Chains A and B, each alone.
Chain A
Amino acid sequence: MSNADIKDTRRVRRSPSVGTYFLIYVVLLLLLVFTIGLSLVDFGHHWNNLAALLIAITKAFLIVLFFMHVRYGPRSIWPFAAAGFVWLGIFLTLTMTDYLTRNHPPAISPRGEPHFLVEPQSR
């Protein structure tokens, strides 16, 4: 195989059409309206927060895949695009497994209060 053959087959350059850009833009705006609407209704517990974060992650995926061309670019871009987010995910997950579970089971202070709930002296 000559060098020219490799050149031709290695990277097929495609990019989204203008119509695709507008479609993604409309979807992003709809998701924005949707997330504002959801925030005005109380679904109780943490469902509001979960929904808002899931919508934000969806929007980020759309921007990365279409506006930032990751869906269309060479595959060598993929691990680079994912690396930061993957490590942030590990950072966030391991940190929260600590902070979310510090009071399970509740530790009791000498005054009989759950330890985690004892506030430091108010300034």
Chain B
Amino acid sequence: MKSLIAVHPDDPEVAGHFEDIDQQRESSSLGMWTFLATEVLFFGALFVGYFVYRVRYPEAFRRGSEEMNLWLGGLNTAVLLTSSLTMALGVHAAGHGDNRGIRRFLAVTMVLGLAFLGIKAIEYAAEAHERLVPAVNFSTIPPDEAGLPSARQHPRPHQVELFMIFYFVMTGLHALHMIVGVSVLSFLFVLTGRGWFTARWHNPIETAGLYWHFVDIVWVFLYPCLYLLRQG
């Protein structure tokens, strides 16, 4: 372990204030879970707000949900679930001290994370083209197909606009977490190349994995709430 803090007298991979390597590892996981609990409440407030207005304007939110691209969203869910698998395999490789394995799986995870962001960008561009972006170009009349029934011809378009506000804030915040996740993984990728991690000590890889899986869980709830709640 490379660190400026005092090292345990009996074990060079344990910091001085820990009893042993197990306690050190457990503390690192507990710290990450504590942070994730605050993240649950951070995203949770948005979900509660979403549910309040979904109950209040069920018809408008259903119409807004129909504007979403179900298949691109589903593809993105599959991409994220796959990235969670490769992240788990990366942590598994770290547990066996397999540095090449760590780098390989971290690279695949990052590529999948960037693929997710790319697909999300395609969706955002399509929504901007459809004039669905609140306060920027949200229009009650679609550009090309003014005669066709659409969410924008809802009797109360601003309720549909409210759905789009929730959509952009929630997916935008999630995308920001993805960008942070990819940045952290790229950092760990470099450190792995420099031989920082061993089979006994690879807490940063493990905690980064916890973060990555958590961001996956957020999307697991965002996808049905924004894309799939079309009926009833």
A: which residues have CB within 8 A of B? 7, 10-11, 13, 15, 18, 21-22, 25, 28-29, 32, 35-36, 38-39, 41-49, 52-53, 55-56, 59-60, 63-64, 66-68, 73-74, 76-77, 80-81, 83-85, 87-88, 91-92, 95-96, 99-100, 119, 122-123
- One digit per residue, 1 when the CB lies within 8 angstroms of any chain A CB and 0 when it does not, for chain B 69-108 equals 0100010011001101101110010010000000000000
> Helix, strand, loop or mixed for chain B's interface?
helix
CB distance from A80 to the nearest CB of B (A): 4
Contact of A77 among B29, B56, B84, B217 (CB under 8 A): B29
Known contacts A15-B95, A81-B33; is-contact A48 B40 (Cβ 8 Å) = no
Give the B interface residue count (CB, 8 A).
Answer: 52
* Total residue contacts A-B, CB cutoff 8 A: 145
Known contacts A25-B82, A88-B41; is-contact A77 B33 (Cβ 8 Å) = yes
B232 within 8 A of A: yes
Is the Cβ of A80 less than 8 Å from the Cβ of B30? yes
Interface residues of B in 196-230 (CB under 8 A from A): 209-210, 213-214, 216-217, 220-221, 223-224, 227-230
Query: Beyond the given A25-B85, A44-B231, could you list 9 further A-B residue pairs with CB under 8 A, ordered by the A residue number?
Result: A11-B26, A18-B92, A32-B77, A43-B231, A77-B33, A88-B41, A88-B48, A99-B56, A123-B158
Q: Which of A28, A42, A87 has the most B CB atoms < 10 Å from its CB?
A: A28
Q: Which residues of A sit under 8 angstroms from B223, Cβ to Cβ?
A: 56
Interface residues of B in 48-84 (CB under 8 A from A): 48, 51-52, 55-56, 70, 74, 77-78, 81-82, 84
Contact of B224 among A56, A63, A64 (CB under 8 A): A56
Is the Cβ of A49 less than 8 Å from the Cβ of B229? yes
Is the Cβ of A21 less than 8 Å from the Cβ of B89? yes
Is the Cβ of B26 less than 8 Å from the Cβ of A39? no
Is the Cβ of B228 less than 8 Å from the Cβ of A52? yes
Is the Cβ of B231 less than 8 Å from the Cβ of A29? no
Known contacts A39-B70, A56-B224; is-contact A84 B37 (Cβ 8 Å) = yes
CB distance from B76 to the nearest CB of A (A): 11
CB distance from B36 to the nearest CB of A (A): 6
Is the Cβ of B40 less than 8 Å from the Cβ of A99? no
Known contacts A36-B74, A74-B26, A91-B44; is-contact A7 B55 (Cβ 8 Å) = no
CB distance from B162 to the nearest CB of A (A): 11
Bound Cα distance from A72 to B189, whole angstroms: 26
Known contacts A21-B89, A96-B51; is-contact A60 B221 (Cβ 8 Å) = yes
Could you list 11 examples of A-B contacts with CB < 8 Å? A7-B20, A13-B22, A25-B81, A32-B78, A42-B231, A42-B232, A43-B232, A48-B231, A53-B224, A60-B221, A67-B84
Contact of B36 among A21, A43, A76, A84 (CB under 8 A): A84
Q: Which residues of A sit under 8 angstroms from B74, Cβ to Cβ?
A: 32, 36
Known contacts A63-B220, A67-B88, A99-B55; is-contact A122 B231 (Cβ 8 Å) = no
B129 within 8 A of A: no
Q: Which residues of B sit under 8 angstroms from A41, Cβ to Cβ?
A: 231
Closest partner residue, chain B, to A22 (CB atom): B85
